[in-house]
Amino acid sequence: MTIVRDRVATTLHALPGKRRINPILVVVVAGAIIVALTYTLPAFRTYQLATVGAYFCVTAGLTVLTGLNGQLSLGHGALMATGAYTLALWQNKFNMLIPGVIVAILVTTAVGAIIGLAAARLRGPYLAGLTLAVAVVVPSISSTFDGTFNSDQGLPVALNPPPESILVEQWQAWVCWIAALVTVLALAYLTRGRFGRDMRAVRDDETAAKLAGISVARTQVLAFVVSAACAGLGGALFAVLSQSVSPGAFPLTLSLFLLMAIVIGGLGRLVGALIGALLLVALPAIAQEIGQSAGSQRLEGNLALTFFGVVLVVVMIAAPGGLTSIRLRRTKTTRTRNELKQKGR
Amino acid sequence: MKRTASVLAVVLLAAGCSNGTSNSGGSSGNTPGVTDTEIVVGTHMPLTGPAAAGYSKIAPATKAYFDYVNANGGVNGRKITYKIMDDGYNPANTQTVVRQLVLQDKVFAILNGLGTPTHTGVLDFLKTNRVPDLFVASGSRSWNQPEKYPDTFGFNPDYTVEGKILASYVKQEHAGKKVCFLGQDDDFGRDSLAGIENILGPVTAKQSYVTSNPNVGPQMGALKAAGCQVVMLATVPGFTALSIGTAAKIGFKPAFVVSNVGSDPTTLAKSLGPAAPLLEGVVAANYLPLANDTANPWIQLYTKVNTQYNNNAELDNNVVYGMSVGYLFVQALQAAGKDLTRDKIIQAVEKGGFTGPGLVPVRFSDKDHSGYAGEQLTTIKGGQAAYFGTPFTTDDGDGAVTASTAAPAVPPANGIPAS
Amino acid sequence: MDRFLFLTFDGLSRGAVYAAFALALVLIWRAARIVNFAQGAMAVATVYAGYSVTNATGSYWLGFVVAIVGGLVLGAAVERVVMRFVDHSSPLNGVVVALGLVLIIQGVLGMIYGNEFLPAPTAFSRDAFEVGGVALLSRYDIFVFASVGAVVVLLTLLFTRTPTGLRMRAAAFAPDVSRLLGVPVGGMLTLGWALAAAVGSLAGLLVIPTELGLHPTAMDVVFISAFTAAVLGGLDSPIGAVIGGLVVGLLLSYVSGYLGATVAPMAVLILLVVVLLGRPDGLFTRARTKARAA
- Cβ proximity of B316 and B271 under 8 Å: no
The span from the CA of C228 to the CA of C230, in Å, is 5
Task: Give pLDDT, residue A300.
Answer: 65
Q: Give the chain B residue nearest C123 (alpha carbons).
A: B274
Encode pLDDT of A106-132 as tens digits: 999 999 999 999 888 887 778 888 898
Task: Give pLDDT, residue C135.
Answer: 65
Instruction: Determine the angle formed by the axes of helices C2-32 and C185-207, rounding to 10 degrees.
Output: 160
Interchain pair C293, A123: CB under 8 A: yes
- How much is the average pLDDT of B96-108? 92
Instruction: Name the domain boundary from B286, B311, B344.
Output: B286
3-state DSSP call for residue A48? helix
Residues 6+ apart with CB under 8 A from C93: A316, A320, A323, A324, C86, C87
Encode pLDDT of B18-48 as tens digits: 443 333 334 456 899 999 999 999 999 988 7
The span from the CA of B41 to the CA of B131, in Å, is 10
**pTM exceeds 0.90:** no
Tell me how far CA of residue B207 lies from CA of B222, B232, B235, C127, C251, in angstroms: 8, 10, 11, 22, 20
For chain C, the structural domain boundaries read: 2-219
Name chain C's partners: 3 or more CB pairs within 8 A.
Answer: A, B
Per-residue pLDDT tens, chain C, 294 aa: give them. Answer: 677 888 898 889 889 999 999 999 998 888 888 889 999 999 999 999 999 999 999 899 999 999 999 999 999 999 999 988 887 777 778 888 998 999 999 999 988 987 777 878 777 777 777 666 666 778 888 899 999 999 999 998 998 889 988 888 888 888 888 888 888 888 999 999 999 999 999 999 998 887 767 888 888 888 888 998 998 888 888 889 999 999 999 999 899 888 877 788 888 889 888 888 887 666 665 544 444 433
Provide, as residue numbers in chain A, all residues whose Cβ is less than 8 Å from the Cβ of C114. Answer: 297-298
Q: Kindly report the number of other CB atoms within 10 A of residue B177's CB atom.
A: 16
The span from the CA of C194 to the CA of C74, in Å, is 7
Q: Is residue B240 part of a domain?
A: yes
Residues within 8 A of A (CB atoms), B 57-86 only? 86
Q: φ and ψ at B70, to 5 degrees?
A: -60, -40
The span from the CA of C45 to the CA of B93, in Å, is 25
Q: Is residue B321 part of a domain?
A: yes
Mutate to test the interface with C, among B90, B93, B208, B215 (most CBs of C within 10 A): B215
* Residue A153 distance to chain B (closest CA, Å): 4
- How much is the average pLDDT of B113-131? 92
Q: Is residue B405 part of a domain?
A: no
Higher pLDDT, A304 or A50: A50
The span from the CA of B323 to the CA of B315, in Å, is 11
Residues B11 and B152 grouped into a single domain = yes
CA atoms within 13 A on the CB side of A93: 10
Q: Among A286, A121, A33, C93, which Cα is nearest to B16's? A: A286
User: Which alpha helices (DSSP H) does B250-377 contain, by range?
Assistant: 265-272, 297-309, 317-336, 342-351
Triad C177, C182, C185: Cα angle to 5°: 70
Q: Is residue B127 part of a domain?
A: yes
- Cβ proximity of A310 and C100 under 8 Å: yes
Q: Is B180 left (phi over 0), alpha (psi -120 to 50) or beta?
A: beta
Encode pLDDT of A328-343 as tens digits: 433 444 444 444 444 4
Provide, as residue numbers in chain A, all residues whose Cβ is less than 8 Å from the Cβ of C35. Answer: 125, 128-129
Which among A139, A246, A282 has CB closest to B14?
A: A282
Q: φ and ψ at C128, to 5 degrees?
A: -80, 145
Q: Is residue B204 part of a domain?
A: yes
Chain B and chain C share a number of CB contacts under 8 A equal to 72
Tell me how far CA of residue C5 lies from CA of B410, C197, C253, C257, C268, in angstroms: 58, 33, 11, 11, 21
Q: Among A55, A43, A37, A36, which Cα is nearest to A284's? A: A55
Task: Give pLDDT, residue A147.
Answer: 84
The reply to whether A209 touches chain B by the CB within 8 Å rule is: no
Interchain pair B88, C115: CB under 8 A: yes
Which among B12, B16, B186 has CB closest to A153?
A: B186
The reply to whether A198 touches chain B by the CB within 8 Å rule is: no
Q: Which run of H or E residues covers position B238?
A: helix B237-249
Task: Give pLDDT, residue A10.
Answer: 37
Q: What is the CATH number of the domain that holds B174?
A: 3.40.50.2300
Residues B79 and B167 grouped into a single domain = no
Task: Give pLDDT, residue A298.
Answer: 65
Chain A and chain C share a number of CB contacts under 8 A equal to 167
pLDDT of B14 strictly over 80: no
Which among B18, B125, B208 has CB closest to A243?
A: B125
* Residue B57 distance to chain A (closest CA, Å): 13
Report CA B61 to chain centroid distance, whole Å.
Answer: 12
Instruction: Name the domain boundary from B255, B286, B317.
Output: B286
% of chain A surpassing 70 pLDDT: 84
Higher pLDDT, C200 or A316: C200
Interchain pair B214, C211: CB under 8 A: yes
How, if at all, do strands B230-234 and B255-258 pair?
A: parallel
Triad A230, A236, A238: Cα angle to 5°: 105
Mutate to test the interface with C, among A259, A279, A316 (most CBs of C within 10 A): A316
Name the interface residues of C facing B (CB cutoff 8 Å): 2-3, 6-7, 10, 110, 114-117, 119, 121, 126-128, 130, 135, 138, 210-213, 256-257, 260-262, 264-265
pLDDT of B209 strictly over 70: yes
Encode pLDDT of A174-202 as tens digits: 999 999 999 999 999 998 888 999 998 98
Q: Kindly report the number of other CB atoms within 10 A of residue B23's CB atom.
A: 7
Exposed (0-12), middle (13-18) or buried (19+): which is A99, by Cβ within 10 Å? exposed
CA atoms within 13 A on the CB side of C13: 23
* Residue B72 distance to chain C (closest CA, Å): 34
* Residue A47 distance to chain B (closest CA, Å): 9
Interchain pair A316, C231: CB under 8 A: no
Residues within 8 A of B (CB atoms), A 262-281 only? 271, 274-275, 278-279, 281
Task: Give pLDDT, residue A339.
Answer: 44
**Residue type (1 letter), C241:** A
- How much is the average pLDDT of A35-43? 92
Enclosing domain of residue B223: 159-286
Task: Give pLDDT, residue B369.
Answer: 95
**Residue type (1 letter), A89:** L
Residues within 8 A of C (CB atoms), B 248-267 only? 248-252
Q: Is residue B412 part of a domain?
A: no
Residues B213 and B275 grouped into a single domain = yes
Q: How large is the C-alpha radius of gyration of chain B?
A: 22
Exposed (0-12), middle (13-18) or buried (19+): which is B334, by Cβ within 10 Å? middle
Residues B172 and B152 grouped into a single domain = no
Residues B167 and B144 grouped into a single domain = no
The reply to whether A44 touches chain B by the CB within 8 Å rule is: yes
Mutate to test the interface with C, among A153, A302, A311, A337 (most CBs of C within 10 A): A302
The reply to whether A170 touches chain B by the CB within 8 Å rule is: no
Residues B74 and B166 grouped into a single domain = no
Tell me how far CA of residue A336 lies from CA of A9, A332, A344, B140, B260, in angstroms: 10, 7, 12, 61, 65
User: Which alpha helices (DSSP H) does chain C contain, by range?
Assistant: 2-32, 39-57, 60-77, 91-113, 139-161, 163-173, 175-180, 185-207, 220-233, 238-254, 264-278
Q: How many domains does chain B have?
A: 2
* Residue C101 distance to chain A (closest CA, Å): 6
Interchain pair A275, B95: CB under 8 A: no
Encode pLDDT of A87-100 as tens digits: 999 999 999 999 99
- For the ranges A156-165, A326-335, B68-77, B163-172, the lowest mean pLDDT is seen at A326-335
> How is residue C135 annotated by DSSP?
E
- Cβ proximity of A176 and A292 under 8 Å: no
Interchain pair C115, A313: CB under 8 A: no
Q: Is residue B348 part of a domain?
A: yes
- Cβ proximity of C246 and C19 under 8 Å: yes
**pLDDT mean across residues, chain B:** 89
pLDDT of A297 strictly over 70: no
How, if at all, do strands A244-245 and A155-156 pair?
A: antiparallel
CA pseudo-torsion sign A176, A182, A186, A187: positive
- How much is the average pLDDT of A212-240? 94
Mutate to test the interface with C, among A4, A5, A127, A136 (most CBs of C within 10 A): A136
DSSP string, C54-105: HHHH--HHHHHHHHHHHHHHHHHHIIIIIGGGS-TTSHHHHHHHHHHHHHHH
- How much is the average pLDDT of B366-381? 94
Confidence of residue A16 (pLDDT cuts 50, 70, 90): very low
Tell me how far CA of residue B301 lies from CA of A340, C108, C166, in angstroms: 78, 39, 72
